[in-house]
Amino acid sequence: MSIDPGWPVALACVALLALTLSMYAVGRLPNPGSTLFAAARAVVQLGIAALVITAVARHLGLSVLLLCFMFAVAVVTTTRRVEAVPAWPWTTVAMLAGLLPVVAIILLTRTVPLEGIALIPVVGIILGNTMNGHTLVGRRAFAALREETGQYDAGLSLGLTRAQAIDEIVHRRLPEALIPGLDQVRTAGVVTLPGAFIGVLLGGGSPAQAAAAQVLVLLGIMAAQTTTAVVAGRLISAARLLPADLHARLRP
């Protein structure tokens, strides 16, 4: 089975976008134009991605360069989302800490061949979810630090170091950031049929092959997100990975 680009797909996409805009109007949600912009970006970016992947997938070196570019875009995106652009080197450290061990395990166990056509989709899915995990950690942790500055000051007055006082606030937020990823793993095959599973089936693979691929990806995502969250939490506590306002406010 395959879904070929053509008028049926275009018609379905227009109808889905119209439904989205209608619900924005019914719900009186702000910025309905953002959906049009997001849809246009998706069309353009996926079209370019299809052309690029077709051109580089047969060359391992070019495939690795593409993945490096994707990683750089992920770092820029998540640092903007958490409003900590100047701390991008530490964001890079946190995300690499989550991503590299997972990729190494996948390659060393030979579950995914060292080929561009296999690496790009698998690493791309794990990378995207690693970025989302980092964003959730940052948004929850930084919001808590802004709301609980009184607790931070109280911790310092009791003799805690800056790292200890920050950690008292941040540590409770890390499990919250991991909930979406855990729910994705828990409900796979029951509530949802994730992308890798569907992709293997659409590509002509057997249900068993699809299930194996999806389990590998889900566990890779869970490991990468958890590691990134832990490392990011340590970097936040050390006042390395902080937005400018918090870096100035949370003085020792």
Q: Can you give the pTM of this predicted structure?
A: 0.81
Task: Show the tokens assigned to 108.
Answer: 């060393």
Mean pLDDT of the region 199-220: 73
For residue 202, pLDDT over 70 is answered with no
Which of 2-11, 70-79, 89-98, 209-218 shows the lowest per-residue confidence on average (mean pLDDT)? 2-11
> Which residues are CB-contacts of 43 (< 8 A; sequence separation ≥ 6)?
none
pLDDT at 8 over 80: yes
Higher pLDDT, 202 or 206: 206
**pLDDT higher than threshold 70 for residue 87:** yes
- Is pLDDT at 189 greater than 70 in this prediction? no
Q: CA 56 → CA 120, 200, 203, distances in Å?
A: 10, 21, 20
**H or E element: which one contains 158?**
none
Confidence band, pLDDT 50/70/90 cuts, at residue 1: very low
pLDDT of residue 216: 85
Is the pLDDT at 233 greater than 90, yes or no? Answer: yes
Q: How many other CB atoms are there within 10 angstroms of residue 245's CB atom?
A: 13
Quick: pLDDT tens for 116-165.
Answer: 888 888 899 899 999 999 999 999 999 999 998 888 888 888 888 889 99
Residue 196's pLDDT band, with cuts at 50, 70 and 90, is low
Query: Which residues 6+ apart lie within 8 Å of 70 measured at CB?
Result: 124, 127
Q: How far is CA 77 from the centre of its chain?
A: 10
Cβ atoms of residues 145 and 83 within 8 Å: no
What's the confidence (pLDDT) of residue 225?
A: 93
